[in-house]
Amino acid sequence: MKLHELRDNPGATKKKKIVGRGPGSGKGKTGGRGIKGQTSRSGVAIGGFEGGQMPLYQRLPKRGFVKPNRKQYAVVNLGLIQKFIDAGKIDASAEITEDVLVASGLVRRKLDGVRVLGKGELTGAANIAVTGASKGAVEAVEKLGGTLKVAQAAVAAE
């Protein structure tokens, strides 16, 4: 078999039916859309409409609650902090604050603060001061002789 002999399986592709090209084509005049009405026109938007019956999304019960003023934290893992320290973008000898993380490009925006999580490994001692941290992250940093200060009160003052 050569490259120019390649063919698709018979029946794998169908030719598109061309509509609106006269009565002889079988799809002329209305183009298979029936007569009048919303669906015969362009720009039809009746996604969840069920012919007047109460739509499924309205029949199902509402669940849960979304707190409108909830805090949203920028999340950083220990492994990423270590990666940036290795790359020389963060100085491990100085204190690592939220502003340092933003300046290095590890965090785009502080949002309501930065929260450190324990995924990944930190190889050396580091002094980190952020808004929040998981228990695992605090343990991992302190095990290496560093400190992870959590300043919840700083956010309330803003």
Tokens describing residue 44: 């039809």
Residue 4: what pLDDT? 96
Asked if residue 27 is part of any domain, the answer here is no
Asked if residue 9 is part of any domain, the answer here is no
Q: Check if the beta carbon of residue 134 is closer than 8 Å to that of residue 118.
A: yes
What global pTM score does this model have? 0.54
Model confidence pLDDT, tens digit, residues 25-59? 889 999 999 999 888 998 888 888 888 899 999 99
Q: CATH number for the domain including 90?
A: 3.100.10.10
Residue 101: what pLDDT? 87
- Residue with the bigger pLDDT between 105 and 4: it is 4
Q: Check if the beta carbon of residue 140 is closer than 8 Å to that of residue 121.
A: yes
Query: For the chain, how many structural domains are there in total?
Result: 1
Asked if residue 130 is part of any domain, the answer here is yes
- Residue with the bigger pLDDT between 153 and 2: it is 2
Asked if residue 2 is part of any domain, the answer here is no
Asked if residue 30 is part of any domain, the answer here is no
Quickly state the pLDDT bin for 153 (edges 50, 70, 90).
low
Q: Check if the beta carbon of residue 106 is closer than 8 Å to that of residue 77.
A: no
The neighbour count for residue 53, using CB atoms within 10 Å, is 9
Provide the pairing of β-strand 96-97 with 74-77.
unpaired
Asked if residue 101 is part of any domain, the answer here is yes
Residue 68: what pLDDT? 92
Residue 157: what pLDDT? 45
Residue 155: what pLDDT? 44
Asked if residue 136 is part of any domain, the answer here is yes
Residue 97: what pLDDT? 87
**Sequence-separated (6 or more) residues with CB below 8 Å from residue 144:** 122, 123, 124, 125, 126
**Sequence-separated (6 or more) residues with CB below 8 Å from residue 65:** none
| Averaged pLDDT for residues 83-108 | 86
Per the structure, the complete domain to which residue 139 belongs is given by 74-157
Tokens describing residue 5: 């002999």
